[in-house]
Structure 1
Amino acid sequence: MHENGRMGLLVDTVRTLVAPLTRTRAFRRLGPRVLPPIERVLARVTGGRVQLSGLLVPSLVLHTTGARSGEQRDAPLMYTPDGRGRAIVAGTNFAGDRHPAWTTNLLAHPDAAITVRGRRMPVRASLIPEGERDAAWDRIQAQWPGYRSYERESGRTVRLFRLQPVRADRQGGAGA
């Protein structure tokens, strides 16, 4: 439960009620079309300090460099703290059969940036190795029960990344 007492209890209760809905076919079909525009408007209105998904789970905006275009791309994502100051993100793509573009971008350009509650910081992304995937999924599912079902339903191995904050002068400027 959250440290915030009643607010934490409310968030945990809402999360428990909402989580099963996110695993429905209707959500997987509508979510990719409806949620990104809502996230963009909310980010614009709040200066990036509030995300719709952030009302239930820790959320960030991942700023990547396009694998082919070289242009900056932004993706609002749920993340899970790994307990060591890093974030874990999962390329579930709403259980779609294709990897989300941001995962391809990170493979091509692992130096990226994230914005969390309006604060931007450079990160270095690394693909979580096979031997650590179950532990990462366990941590993610402790935060959002049933989330790994997206991987099973997609028919592919979801790419899991660890985002390690780096000092700006070590990042080399890519993706920032």
Structure 2
Amino acid sequence: MTDATISQSMPDWIKDHIALYRADGDAGHLWIPPRGDSKPLTTLLLTTTGRKSGKQLLLPLIYRPTGDGAYCIIASKGGAPQHPAWYLNLMTDPNVEVQVANDTFSAKARVAEGPERAQLWELMADYFSPYNDYKVATERQIPVIVLERN
């Protein structure tokens, strides 16, 4: 999955973040949101397989470790009514590549449910409070994804 495609429709600041991450995982691992929030956030690079194209697709996402060697991400799409494309890709093929700082590994994605979902949602919303705004902005239940190392 190392020859992943970066969508040209992504904003330049996301493309710049990916370029920095690929050049130096330690430097790219921490990200400062462009909207004036000065708190650096941990990000990972997620590579999925496009459900329509079959291409490897790469994007950065905010994450938190779950405490058991796995990582949690949120399929928020900023509170949009539709799920993000990368989430739909995971539903078709949950096998992904993940980069956390300079550690790259294969993982399997799964959707957290029930009490686990509630616990992980709180973990993520405490870390990045806009998730709570996104939750209010949409009628869909925003998926909480666990990435477990293979």
TM-score of Structure 1 vs Structure 2, range by shorter chain? 0.7 to 0.9
Return the offset for 1:132: 2.7
CA contact (8 A) 2:29 2:100 kept: no
Provide the rounded CA distance (Å) in 1 between the counterparts of 2:66 and 2:101. Answer: 18
Provide the rounded CA distance (Å) in 1 between the counterparts of 2:21 and 2:78. Answer: 21
1:121-161 deviations in Å (ceiling 9; x for gaps): 01111111144322111111232234222122133211111
Q: Which runs of 5+ in 2 are unaligned?
A: 1-9, 33-39
Q: Which runs of 5+ in 1 are unaligned?
A: 1-31, 167-176
Is residue 118 of structure 2 the alignment partner of residue 134 of structure 1? yes
Provide the rounded CA distance (Å) in 2 between the counterparts of 1:112 and 1:57. Answer: 22
Is residue 90 of structure 2 the alignment partner of residue 106 of structure 1? yes
Is residue 120 of structure 2 the alignment partner of residue 143 of structure 1? no
Q: Look up the match of 2:14.
A: 36
Provide the rounded CA distance (Å) in 2 between the counterparts of 1:82 and 1:105. Answer: 22
Provide the rounded CA distance (Å) in 2 between the counterparts of 1:52 and 1:149. Answer: 24
- Structure with the higher fraction of residues in strand conformation: 2
**Counterpart secondary structure, 2:45:** strand
CA contact (8 A) 2:108 2:149 kept: yes
**Counterpart secondary structure, 1:51:** helix
CA contact (8 A) 2:63 2:72 kept: yes
Q: Look up the match of 2:31.
A: 54
Is residue 88 of structure 2 the alignment partner of residue 94 of structure 1? no
What is the TM-score of this pair, normalised by structure 2?
0.78
Q: Which has the larger radius of gyration?
A: 1
**Counterpart secondary structure, 1:97:** coil
Q: Which runs of 4+ in 1 moved over 6 A?
A: none
Return the offset for 1:52: 7.2
CA contact (8 A) 1:127 1:160 kept: yes
- Structure with the higher fraction of residues in helix conformation: 1
Return the offset for 1:42: 2.2
Provide the rounded CA distance (Å) in 2 between the counterparts of 1:95 and 1:34. Answer: 21
Return the offset for 1:34: 4.7
Provide the rounded CA distance (Å) in 1 between the counterparts of 2:91 and 2:80. Answer: 19
What aligned pairs does 1:7-46 form with structure 2 within 5 A after superposition?
33-44=11-22, 46=23
What is the TM-score of this pair, normalised by structure 1?
0.68
CA contact (8 A) 1:60 1:76 kept: yes
